[in-house]
A = this chain, B = another copy of it.
Amino acid sequence: MDKKFVAVIGGSQCSKEEAQLAEEVGRRLAKRGAILVCGGLGGIMKAACKGASSAGGTTIGILPGDNRQAANPYVQIPIVTGLGEARNVIVVKSVQAVIAIGGSYGTLSEISHALKNDIPVIGLNTWSLSRNGRQDKSIIPAQSPTEAVAQALALVTSPKSKE
């Protein structure tokens, strides 16, 4: 349990550019020794798992449905919840930092649950928020996969983070 756990979140469908970002994020997380947690399906999740696997990392997929076969082929440890979108809560609670890449409302729900739980969120081309007219800066922007991974891992060890 001295390993660092980081989630990569984003759409189950994504552009080629987003997939490249996710794959690179996965690869760098693995090289830095972190364990990758995701929702286990396609798009960003698959690309991130592919990257992590290619670098010898461990990949965990928290699946929404009842069927372990629904996991993308790069998921090594499928967790089968049968909970539908409520599994999004588990994805973020199981990690110490979140990297969000693009994404739609499902991703936004994961960002929200993470922020609610004081789990740091790094964003690559993703949502930005304002509340009652004022900008909310809780999502930490990154310009590249390298920067996203560096920030995520730095925040895990920061005394401000939950661990």
A-side residues, CB < 8 A to B, are 1, 3, 35, 58, 60, 62, 66, 68-69, 71, 73, 75-86, 89-90, 93-94, 102-106, 108-109, 111-113, 115-117, 125-133, 138, 163
Please name all residues of chain B whose beta carbon is closer than 8 Å to the beta carbon of A75 when the two chains form the complex. Answer: 1
Please name all residues of chain B whose beta carbon is closer than 8 Å to the beta carbon of A105 when the two chains form the complex. Answer: 112-113, 115-116, 138
Please name all residues of chain B whose beta carbon is closer than 8 Å to the beta carbon of A86 when the two chains form the complex. Answer: 82-83, 86, 89
Please name all residues of chain B whose beta carbon is closer than 8 Å to the beta carbon of A133 when the two chains form the complex. Answer: 128
Shortest A68–chain B CB gap in Å is 7
Q: Is the interface of A mostly helix, strand, loop or mixed?
A: mixed
Whether B78 and A116, one on each chain, are in contact in the complex, defined by CB atoms closer than 8 angstroms, is no
Query: In the complex this chain forms, how many copies of it are found?
Result: 4
Contact of A131 among B66, B106, B126, B130 (CB under 8 A): B126
Shortest A27–chain B CB gap in Å is 20
Whether B132 and A126, one on each chain, are in contact in the complex, defined by CB atoms closer than 8 angstroms, is yes
Closest to A106 in B: B116
Closest to A125 in B: B132
A71, A86, A163 — which one has the most chain B CB atoms within 10 A of its CB? A86
Contact of A109 among B69, B71, B104, B116 (CB under 8 A): B116
